[in-house]
Structure formats: C-alpha cells, structure tokens
Amino acid sequence: MPQLTGKYDNINLLRAIAALAVVVYHVIEHGRWTTFPRDGALAYLRLGWLGVDLFFVISGFVIAHAGLLLYRKAPALFARAYWRRRLARILPLYLLTIALWIAFTWKHFFAQADWGWQLFTHLAFIHNFFPETHGTIDGPNWSLAVEMQFYLAVALLIGWIDRTPGWRIWLYGIVISCAWRAAMVMTYGHDDPFLLFAKTTQLPGTLDLFGAGIFLAKWVLDGQRRVPMPGLAFLLAVVAAGFVAMQLYWPRSTYWDDAYMIVFWRVALSVFFFLVVAAAVALPQVLSTRWLLPLDYLGEISYGIYLWHLFAVTFVVRAAGLAGVDALAAVLALTLAAAALSWHLFEKPIMDRACGKPADLSDRATRSARETPAPPPA
C-alpha cells in the first residue's frame, strides 16, 4: 500500500480538466454549436457541465482535509484561520467579476426594480435559492453559493466530522441528497427544467458529491495516510465506474424527464468522481510537478478560468459573432489570459497578504492538499 505524502499536487490536474470542460460546454451551448459531434469520444465534451460535479467532490476532499488538519492542530484557532483563507480565496475575484459583469454586460442593472435583491442575494451567497437570481450575474457563479454554503457547514460541523466515520458521512450525504432531489421532483417535476435544475442542485441535493470528498479526506487522514490499493488499481476502478455511470446516462440523456435519473444517477457519479480524486491522490505526484506542469498551472488558475470564461463567451459569441472552432479558440485564449493576469496581479497578492507566509499554521494546513477552491460548477 502506498504511503501518501500529504501534498496532493495532482488535484490541480483535475481542477484544470474540470474548468476546461465547463468552458467547452458553454461555448457549445451559448454558441449553438449544433454541428459539434453527438457520438464518439468528442461527444463527452457535451457533458462539460459535469466539471461542476467534479469540483464539488474535490472541494469535499480538500476543504475537509485542510479543515481537519487545522482543527486537530489548533482547535482554538480553527474558525479564524479557516475563514481567513476561505474568504481571501473566494471573495476578491468574486466581487470583482460581479462588479464588472454589471458594468459591462448589464447596462440597465440599477434601473430595474429588484437590483437591491440581486446584489443582496449574491453578496450573501444565497442567489442559488431563487429562480430570479440564480445565474443572473456571471451565470456560473451559482455554484459558488453552493460552495460557500458547504464551507459554512464544514465550519459548523467540524467537530462532528472529526469524530464521525467517513463512510457514515458519505452515507448520510447520499440519503439526504436523494431525499432532497426526490422532494424537488415531486414539487417541481412538471415545471420548467431550469427550475428543477436550480432546486435539485442546492446544497442538500449535492451532499452525495461533497460527502464523497469528505469520505476520501477521512480515509487518508484516519488511515495513517494510506490508501488500500495502488494508483493503477484506482485507475482501473475509475474506468469501471465511469463505464457504469455513462451506460446509465446515455440511454436517458434527456435526463430532466426521468425522475429516477434526477434522484439517483448522481450517486453513481459521486462514486465515479470519488475514484477519480482518489486516483489523483494515490498516483505519483510528479504527474503534475514534472510531467504535466502546464496542466498543473491551469489548475492553479482554475478559479479565474471559471469566473472569467463567460465574459469571454459573451464577447466572442455575441459581440464578435464567432462560432464553432473559431469561437472556442478565441474563448480559450481570452479566458486563460484573463485568469493568468488576475491570478498573478490580483488573487495571489491578496492571498499572500491575508494568509501570511507558508509557515503560518492556517496556510500550512490548507496547502497540504493544494487547496485552491473552484466551483466548480455550469
């Protein structure tokens, strides 16, 4: 059984893949790229919205891992250090992109009657609760509300998370999420699919995904940093679980007209993504630090990729009128440039000032899992 180092650089590779998948998906959807393949390997890029679900599992692992390390090291300092890093990482770019979205894409924002409600719900991270505010300002940031609500849950329940077996936490997450999604189907099943999407993806409906990450964090920490099989075995398990999940999905890909898919399919997805993240943890970390360094860098700036890409899509598709491969290339170029600039000139300097040197207790605990939360998100 491999001994894990406690520093999981490969997580950044998954962040990069998840963020890029969301970008491609939105180019296909917003650009009405009807000729994009619907079968074969490329058809899976139409499922780029799954990048958000992967982000939720990653967040479950990273936040629980970092939070438990900090809580066990210095319980009295936990709340201050935990929130200092969470807010320093999330808030600055979130607030900046909200302001820029309103300024450049919503010219008559302050002329509408509910502008105060829009701002309040977004600043309080509850905009995903209401159809009239869900996705209205920089659409993908609905998932940041889910993420922030999860951070709050971890902060409030850290003692319980510490003393409860990981498998039980995941099981509770599966039961609660399935019950929530079933209740939403019964309540909103005959309404607009968007409303059903908004309701089923609220935090109770995503706890199976977050729970999978918490289970992995507890497995790593409470199992003396050991996993029960080598990375290559996890890769085989990933292939098998992915095959099962996709075999369930493709015959029912209309999804929103199938109550059983809405309620239960994401359980299979949580197992698949649990194995994906576990493989990243168990495989040699030189995958990111040496062999796939460019992809590792994209994972480092993935939060910016996620929040900037819809600006690029809006400009390229609506203003410039590009479509297809040309639109995708332009969106990727603009998004990566914006994300790199905001990381080096804005996000990282703020984090360095807010969190201090890496020797600081809170930074040491959070960096142990290469923690850069990203929504990830659709």
What pLDDT, on the 0 to 100 scale, is given for residue 338?
A: 98
Q: Residue 305 and residue 340: Cα distance in Å, rounded?
A: 8
Does the pLDDT at position 357 exceed 70?
no
What pLDDT, on the 0 to 100 scale, is given for residue 297?
A: 97
Does the pLDDT at position 105 exceed 80?
yes
Question: Once rounded to an integer, what is the mean pLDDT over residues 114-123?
Answer: 98
Element (H, E) at 18: helix 11-30
Task: Give the global pTM.
Answer: 0.91
Angle between helices 11-30 and 50-73 (to 10 degrees): 150
| DSSP letters spanning 346-366 | IIHHHHHHHH--TTSHHHHHH
> CA torsion 251→254→255→257, rounded to 10°?
-110
| CB-based contact 87:351 (threshold 8 Å) | no
> How buried is 115 (Cβ within 10 angstroms: 0-12 exposed, 13-18 middle, 19+ buried)?
middle
Please choose, from the candidates 225, 222, 228, the residue with its C-alpha nearest in 3D space to the C-alpha of residue 72.
Answer: 222
Lowest-confidence segment of 9-23, 48-62, 72-86, 225-239 by average pLDDT: 225-239
Question: Once rounded to an integer, what is the mean pLDDT over residues 326-344?
Answer: 98
What pLDDT, on the 0 to 100 scale, is given for residue 359?
A: 35
Please choose, from the candidates 234, 277, 268, the residue with its C-alpha nearest in 3D space to the C-alpha of residue 250.
Answer: 268
**220 — phi, psi (to 5°)?**
-70, -50
| CB-based contact 367:63 (threshold 8 Å) | no
